[in-house]
Amino acid sequence: GAGVSQSPRYKVTKRGQDVALRCDPISGHVSLYWYRQALGQGPEFLTYFNYEAQQDKSGLPNDRFSAERPEGSISTLTIQRTEQRDSAMYRCASSFRNRANTGELFFGEGSRLTVL
């Protein structure tokens, strides 16, 4: 497709379960970002990939959160042992620019996670 694709769009899980959220960026985009957005707030940075390399994971809340982009394209954000406070919209974005300068980000529709 032409845009950033995220799946699943909605995920409801029970506390303690693991979840994996997938992001398929725009073809050819070098940079990939994961953000988390709470209701009524702006997106908060989680992690950044330049090609397959995870350049910055400073925004990941704790070690239950991890992300990978093994072939420099599709990325997976994994949350282990989910807690209710993990409930949020998780947004993926991609950009054709490398780390030299930040350009326009193209966002996906997001994955809404609800932890019961």
> Closest separation between CB of residue 59 and another protein, Å?
8
> Closest separation between CB of residue 81 and another protein, Å?
25
Torsions phi, psi for 58 (to 5 deg): -65, -20
Say which amino acid occupies 63: D
Return the number of the residue (14 or 39) whose C-beta is nearest another protein. Answer: 39
Torsion over CA: 48, 54, 60, 64 (sign): positive
Q: Pairing relation of β-strands 10-13 and 44-50?
A: unpaired
> Closest separation between CB of residue 1 and another protein, Å?
13
Return the number of the residue (37 or 80) whose C-beta is nearest another protein. Answer: 37
Return the number of the residue (16 or 38) whose C-beta is nearest another protein. Answer: 38
